[in-house]
Structure 1
Amino acid sequence: MSDAQRADALLLDSPREGRGQLKVFLGAAPGVGKTYAMLQAAQRQRQLGRDVRIGIVETHGRAETEAMRVGLVEQPMVRRDHRGVALQEMDLDGLLNVRPQLVLVDELAHSNAPGSRHAKRWQDVLELLDAGLDVYTTVNVQHLESLNDQVRAITGVQVRETVPDWVLQEADDILLIDLPPRELLERLREGKVYVPEQARAAIDAFFSQTNLTALRELAMQTAAARVDADLHRRHRLLGQAAPAVRGRLLVGIAGNAEAEGLVRHAARVAERRHLPWSVVHVDTGTSRNEAQLARLQTAQALAERLGAEVVELRGERVARTLLDHAAARRASVLLVGGRGRARRRWAIWQPSVAEQLIRAGCGLEISVLAQTPPDEPVRSPSRKAWNRRDYLLAVLATGGATAIALLLSRFLALPNISLVFLAAVLVVAVRSSLGPALACAGLSFLLYDFLFIPPTFTFIVARQEDVLTLVFFLLMAVLSGNLASRQRRQFQALRQTQADTTALLELSRQLGAATDAQAVATAAVRQLKQTTDLRAIVTTREGRGSWRFLGDSAPTLTEQELAAAEWAFEHGQPAGQGTDTLPSGRWWWLPLSGDERSLGLLGIELPVPSRTAQQTRRLVAALAQPLSQALGRATLAEQLEAARLHGQTEELRSALLASVSHDLRTPLTAMRGAIDSLASLGDSMSESDRQELLEATRDEAERLDRYIQNLLDMTRLGHGGLKLIRDWTAPGDIVASAVQRLKRVLADLRLDVRLPDAPPLLYVHPALIEQALVNVLENAARFSPVGGRLEIAVESDARALRFIVSDEGPGVPEAERKKIFDMFYTAARGDRGGPGTGLGLSICQGMIGAHGGRVAVTDGLDGRGTGVILELPLQPQPELEKDAS
């Protein structure tokens, strides 16, 4: 044994993290003492100090079993109303909330009441195990899914409540509770299993000694198989005589009545021989009625529940396709069905699939399971109507060919007439199937002989060479019809395969072009609608019970459908219609997972579940895989973008705090110093000194006011809270107001204002444009030398009006002219005002941009310094009222 195999065995043997332990008390029949043994084991655990709680225990009135419940805490049951009947069921959610260490769950195969989260109790047990709770449970061997047919053959009773075999295979311990049939029958007669009336009926029907002996043998075989599997694993753990994997079991099924029995038998064979197994159906392109499709889908669903891989293949020859797939998967055993009373209608011409496999399956173990099938169901009226149309086409085609042949017989030789009938056979074969094509060939053969072979209007052939002509005609008609029908089936199979492949490629292409989760969902929903004609939605959970629907409008969901979606998201397993978890709704939920976490759900609306083919479900599941990957990629991209924005926000916040802490502290410090001087010196100061301190305080207060105004404006711009209250305003008024506000800042400079004689009016928010101009002027004053010249010019044309502020400062290099409008960008070159917040020009750009204008940087006065242009669009000028003369 290799180290890797031994490591795998150790991994399988180790307890799964976070999952509870499952112990199954297995019995051959009711009354052997499973519940009593389970309660007895629970009492021992309680004495050891474990928190034990009864989820549900059915004592059926047995006194000794009732006595074993004493001291065990019981979880209250929940009531389910179904058709006016109150049903008591185990409170799954209550147990998950209480979270005891050990839960007792009787009758594992029980079907839950309609409206429960899960259709079966064994699914409740799995959810308890996933939550980390240990579970003790009981089950009878008759309820194992793979033994269903065998139990029916033994007892004559069809067991409706079953448990997949893999559930028992997942159990950590299986304890066989055995009781000899004679003792069990004695308990029945004494009323210790059922009440006397029920006991007599049970003995007469199910509980005969023969049946109990057979069921007891099945229970022992099941327990022995589990012991054998455990022994096999222990050998592998020790590295001793551990057999290697011995290939794979392939099971070939068709849409006939024996498919389910074949799947159950294969499950038992795979378990006994420790083989992985696959259920394979070969689609030859032949049409099937609804009953055959339903049987095929039921068998495939059963195989999935029993743990098999379900494979759908397309091919013309079933046996050859199965052998090729067996070679590709390195299978060692190939199991097919063979009816006990096989119909040998075409046995001479076409051997059965089993016979073809035996002849060609060299190196494979070919097993044939002969079953006695039930009576064939009556074909549906639609199928009969379809057959009638096909055969009517054969008759019409033959009649048409006959009419054409009679017209051409005057001009063409006799051998050429047969080509007309061959053409009719080809047309029928291409448009229908093999049966109508053969019927057309037979009719054509008879009419060709009757109308054209001498002596005409009889079926007598006078010349020997005409016999050979007729034989060859019939042979060519049959071969050509068969070939055309085969080509049609192949074409249909290839077209379906191409459609599926195209759907996957198209979805992958669209998902690759999607940039966010919304685009991913929209592409997936559109492609699924085109491919399957089913309504689909993609949803992600924003909080418990809160869903965000992507790609389509939010559907109206019932409480059951929402619960199914919640469960599918939490557990990463399909739920809803077509599953065993909350199947009563219209929606089928498939989890979309990535990196071991749920990203969202793909919801498919299935209005008519019986007509939704298993192939369609598998196609949807295949399309869900690239959708999960694309959604994970989009989610990761959104998270990275959020992280980038968060980093930039933190960077801006740090810069803002650093800048604001300096720029706000400086004027506050100056103001406080001036106020302290006035307070301490008082009247001892001269009037001129007192006036100077007051003016300095006012200047710093105005400076502080401008800083705060900039911060407020930046906040409004960043959050979209800046509202434009427009009015007609003269540009000269804006310039005059801005200059007045900055009178003290501009005192050391030579200011020139150039205004046109009759400038057009602006339809703007006057205060915002004034503030923008103030920011530009203040920035120019900071960088202008003392005594320098500063110019404000107003220019206009037919489209726009421009405020141009030019200075004689150090200027801005060409490479930095775009950066000066970035937030927190400052340049210390020639700045007489000290470091600032770097928000002034950024706010200016935001305010002008809100009016549809733009801000640009150019050269300053006489080629020196900097010029800032504030350009605003002009609106049609209002008509001014004329003064009354």
Structure 2
Amino acid sequence: MSDAQRADALLADMPREGRGRLKVFLGAAPGVGKTFAMLQAAQAQLRQGVDLRVGVVETHGRAETEAMLVGLPQQPALRSEYRGVTLSEMDLDGILATPPKLVLVDELAHSNAHGSRHAKRWQDVQELLDAGIDVYTTVNVQHLEALNDQVRDITGVQVRETLPDWVLQEADEILLIDLPPRELLERLRDGKVYVPEQARAAIDAFFSQTNLTALRELAMQTAAARVDADLNRRYRQQGQEAPTVRGRLLLGIDGDAQAERLVRHACRVAERRHLPWSVVHVEVGGERDEQRLGNLQAAQQLAERLGGEVVVLRGSSVADTLVEHARERRASLILVGRSRQRLRRRWRVGRGLAERLLSLGEGLEVSVLDTEVERAPARLRARQPVQWRDYLLAPLATGVAAAAALGLAQIVELPNISLIFLAAVLVVAVRSSLGPALLCAGLSFLAYNLLFIEPLLSLKIERQQDVLTLLFFLLMAALTGNLATRQRQQLQALRQTQGETTALLELSRKLTAATDRQAVLAAATQQFSQWHEIEVSLLARSSDGLWKVEAGAQRLLTEQERAAADWAWQHAQPAGLGTGTLPGGRWWWWPLSGEEGPLALLGISPKQGGPLPADQRRLIAALGQPLAQALERAQLAEDLEAARLHGQTEELRSALLASVSHDLRTPLTAMRGSIDSLLALGEQIPLADRRELLEGTRDEAERLDRYIQNLLDMTRLGHGGLKLARDWVAPADIVASALQRLRPVLAPLQVETALPGELPLLYVHAALIEQALVNVLENAARFSPSQGRLRVALEVGREELRFSVSDQGPGIPEHEREKIFDMFYTAARGDRGGQGTGLGLAICQGMLGAHGGRVTVGEGLDGRGATLTLHLPLHPQPLAEDE
């Protein structure tokens, strides 16, 4: 045995994280003491201090059972009215609100009252287990779905309340409660199971000695199979060889009345042999009536409930397709049903399916189950409505062929006349089905005989060779019609398959082009809108638990439909119409889930009412997989974009804090030092020094004011709060005012101005343009060497006026000239080199941009430094009288 197999066995035996443990008290029939044993075990747990609660227990008036309930905490039942009857059910939400460690739930196969969240009580138990709550429960063997038909054969009673076998197989512990049939019958007669009147009826109908013995054997077989499976797992945990799962069981079904019986039998065989199993239906393109289609869908749904895999294949031969699929899946056993075929069916398909499988399936075990036990009811099935239009096509085609043959009889030899009638049969077969094709063949046979075989207009045949010709013609017409019909049916099946494949490819193509969540949902809605018989709605759930329709039909959900949507979202399982969870609404909810949980909820509502067909549900589920992947991809892209923006924000925040903390602290430190000196020394400081300290304090305060003003201006620019109060102003006045404001800053430099004599007026916000020029001048002064040149020039173009500020500083590298206008950017060697908040030129760019201007960077004076040029558009000049 490999280490991987041993590890799998050990992992299978470990309790699943966050999930409760299930203990099942299994019995052969009511009255054997399952509920009593469960309550007895609960009393023992209570004495050990376990927090437990009675969810629901049916005592049926038995005194000893009611006595065992004494002292056990109980959850009050949930009562509801249905058709004038008061029903009580387990309060699932009440238990989940204050979850205990252990809950007692009687009668696991019970059907819940109409309007409950789940159709079956075993589904309530699954939700309790998912919530981490341990459950004690009871069940009788006749309620197992796989044994349903076998119990009916034994007792003659069809048990309606069933549960899937996998529920029992996933139980952590099964305890068989056994009671010999003789003792059970004595309990019935003594009134310890039912009241006396019910007891006599039960003994006559169900609780016979033979029935109880057979049910007891089924219960023991079920428990023995579980013990055998546990023993095999124990062997594997120890690394020893044990019977392992080998091969696979394939069950081939059609839409006959025995399909469900075959599914149950296959489930039992697979369980006994420890084989995975699949239910396979081969679609050969034949037409089925509604009843056969309903039988097929019911059998497929039963297989899904019992834990089997449902596979739909398409091919020209059922046997060939089954054997080929068995080879691909490495199956070891093929199981099919065998029924008596009518002569017409045998003539059409030749040997039966079982015979063909035996001849083709070399190395495979082929098991055939006789399903003719219910032949009489099968004859009562509804027949497919006759398509009279197709049958009218047969005489019409025969008439046209006869007319054409009469017209060509003079120039065409008699043997060739039959080809005209064969062509008519082919046309009818291709356009309709086998029945009209055979009718056309028969009519063509009569027309050929009456019109072209001597003696004419008589069914009498004089020549012996003409008899062979007619019989050969009839045989060829029938075979040709049958072949053409089968080819047409196969073509229809291929078109259906191609349609499904095309739908998947088309949706995948649309989803590939979708870049965000809304695009993905729009692509999905567009794809599903091609199905006019359904309504589609895609929902998302907000953080406060409210549903929002993101795409598709905008419909108000009823309370039950909202509850089904909530359950499907929370448990990542389908719910609503056609399921076992809250099936009373109009919508079928399918969660589109990723690795982290549901991403959206797909709702499907048939416009004609009724549940969706099984094949359509599987196609929608198949389309849902790439849709969920696309939603997850879009969610990942949004998360990455959010992370990128967060990183940029943090980078911007760090730059702001670094710049502000340094540049605001510098003037504050200088101001504080000057003030401390004045306060400490006072009159001891000479007047000239005191004046210098005060002027320095004023200069640092102005510098601080400029920094704060830059921050405020940048904030207003970013939020669109900067208003332009335009007016006509002289450019020379702007230059003079800016130089005056920066007189102390520019004092160590040689400032040159180049102003033309005549300059046009600018229609601008004078204060903003002045501030922009101040920022550029201050930036140039900061990096200019002492006694360096700084030149301010004005130039007039055809459509713009330019302010140029040139310095002899270190300059700005070409690759950084586009970046210096970004907020908080400081060049390593240029005019922004490590000083300032990094906002001055960004504000300058914003102020010029608000006026429709721009800022450019060029070379400085004498091949050194840099030149920053402010470009402002010129407007038509005002008239002299307006001035």
What is the TM-score normalised by the length of structure 1? Answer: 0.91
Show CA shifts across 1:467-493 (max 9, x none).
333233223322322222222222222
Q: How does 1:844-855 map to 2 (within 5 A)?
A: 844-849=844-849, 854-855=854-855
Deviation at 1:854, TM superposition (A): 4.2
Secondary structure, in 3 states, of the residue corresponding to 1:73?
A: coil
Question: Equivalents in 2 of 1:591, 1:449: separation in Å?
Answer: 66
Distance in structure 1 (CA, Å) of the matches to 2:28 and 2:394? 59
C-alpha distance 713-154 of structure 1, shift in aligned 2 (>3 A): farther
1:346 aligns with 2:348: no
Q: 1:738 to 1:253 in 2, by over 3 A?
A: farther
Equivalent residue letter for 1:429: A
CA shift, 1:564, in A, is: 2.7
Instruction: Tell whether 2:786 aligns with 1:788.
Output: no
After TM superposition, give the deviation of residue 34 of structure 1 in Å: 1.0
SS across alignment from 2:385: helix
Report 1:774-785 matches (<5 A): 774-785=774-785
Match of 2:579 in 1: 579
Deviation at 1:243, TM superposition (A): 2.2
Moved more, 856-865 or 130-139: 856-865
Alpha-carbon distance in 1 for matches of 2:322, 2:699: 94
SS at match of 2:334: strand
State the match for 1:21 in structure 2. Answer: 21
Change (3 A) 1:674 1:179: same
2:10 counterpart residue number: 10
Q: Which moved more, 1:15-24 or 1:206-215?
A: 206-215
Q: Distance in 2 between matches of 1:470 and 1:194?
A: 75
Q: Identify the residue that residue 310 of structure 2 maps to in structure 1.
A: 310
Deviates more, 1:686-695 or 1:805-814: 686-695
Change (3 A) 1:236 1:832: closer
Structure-1 separation of matches of 2:66 and 2:409: 95
SS at match of 1:286: coil
Q: CA 1:759–1:369 in 2, change beyond 3 Å: closer, same or farther?
A: farther
**Contact 1:537–1:551, Cα closer than 8 Å, also in 2:** yes
Residues 844/260 of structure 1: CA separation in 2 closer, same or farther (3 Å cut): farther
Q: Is contact 2:734-2:766 (8 Å) kept?
A: no
- Equivalent residue letter for 1:732: A
Distance 1:777 1:631 in 2: 54
Q: How does 1:225-624 map to 2 (within 5 A)?
A: 225-339=225-339, 342-348=341-347, 350-371=350-371, 372-373=373-374, 375-376=377-378, 383-385=384-386, 387-530=387-530, 534-543=534-543, 545-547=545-547, 550-552=550-552, 555-595=555-595, 597-608=597-608, 610=610, 612-624=612-624
Residues 880, 467 of structure 1: CA spacing in aligned structure 2 closer, same or farther, 3 A cutoff? farther
Matched, 1:173 2:173: yes
Letter aligned with residue 819 of structure 2? K
- Is contact 2:108–2:121 with CA below 8 Å preserved after alignment? yes
Report how far residue 284 of structure 1 moved. Answer: 0.8
Contact conserved, 2:713 with 2:722, CA < 8 A, in 1?
no
Q: For residues 767 and 539 of structure 1, what CA distance do their matches in structure 2 show?
A: 54
3-state DSSP of counterpart to 2:20? coil
Q: Specify the alignment match of 2:625 in structure 1.
A: 625
> Which runs of 5 or more structure 2 residues have no equivalent in the other structure?
none
How big is the shift at 1:594? 3.4
Please, which moves more after superposition, 671-680 or 618-627? 671-680
Q: What residue identity is the alignment partner of 1:217?
A: E
Alignment of 1:715-864 (within 5 A): 715-716=715-716, 721-723=719-721, 725-730=723-728, 732=730, 735=734, 741-747=741-747, 748=749, 750=751, 752=753, 754=755, 757=758, 759=760, 762=763, 771-785=771-785, 786=787, 788-793=789-794, 795=796, 797-798=798-799, 803-827=803-827, 829=829, 835-849=835-849, 854-861=854-861, 864=864
* Structure 2 CA distance for aligned equivalents of residues 851 and 496 of structure 1: 65
Cα distance, 1:131–1:85 mapped onto 2, change above 3 Å = same
Query: Over residues 504-542 of structure 1, what are the superposed CA-to-partner deviations in whole Å (9 max), with x where a residue is unaligned?
Result: 223333333333333333333333434786444554544
Amino acid at match of 2:416: N
Which range is displaced more, 138-147 or 517-526?
517-526
User: Percent identity of the aligned residues?
Assistant: 68
Distance 1:729 1:588 in 2: 67
Deviations along 1:414-468, one digit per CA (max 9) or x if unpaired, are 3333222222212222122222222212211211211222222112222333333
- In structure 1, give the amino acid aligned to 2:866: T
Amino acid corresponding to residue 735 of structure 1 in structure 2: I
SS at match of 1:24: strand
1:544 and 1:241 mapped to 2: Cα distance? 54
**C-alpha RMSD of matched pairs (Å):** 3.1
Instruction: Identify which range, 729-738 or 588-597, moves more after superposition.
Output: 729-738
What code does the residue aligned with 1:605 have? S
Map 1:138-157 → 2, pairs under 5 A:
138-157=138-157
Distance 2:871 2:366 in 1: 88
Q: Deviations over 1:64-113 (max 9, x none)?
A: 11111122111223334445544322222222232211111111111222
The alignment covers a number of residue pairs equal to: 876
1:194-205 mapped onto 2 (5 Å cutoff):
194-205=194-205
Q: 1:674 to 1:79 in 2, by over 3 A?
A: farther
1:658–1:428: structure 2 CA closer, same or farther, 3 Å change rule?
same
**Offset at 1:658?**
1.8
Moved more, 408-417 or 66-75: 408-417
Cα gap change, 1:802 to 1:284, in 2 (>3 Å) = farther
Q: For 1:111-150, list aligned pairs within 5 A.
A: 111-150=111-150
Q: 1:289 to 1:348 in 2, by over 3 A?
A: closer
Task: Give the partner amino acid of 1:648.
Answer: Q
Letter in 1 for 2:210: T
Cα displacement (A) at 1:584: 2.5
TM-score after normalising by structure 2: 0.92
For the residue of structure 1 that corresponds to 2:25, the secondary structure is strand
Q: 1:205 to 1:590 in 2, by over 3 A?
A: same
Check conservation: 1:592, 1:624, Cα contact below 8 A.
yes
Distance 1:158 1:760 in 2: 102
CA deviations 1:560-610 (Å, max 9, x no partner) are 333333333332322222221222233333333334644444333344564
**Which stretch has the larger CA shift, 527-536 or 486-495?**
527-536
CA contact (8 A) 1:817 1:857 kept: yes
Q: Shift in Å at residue 665 of structure 1?
A: 0.6
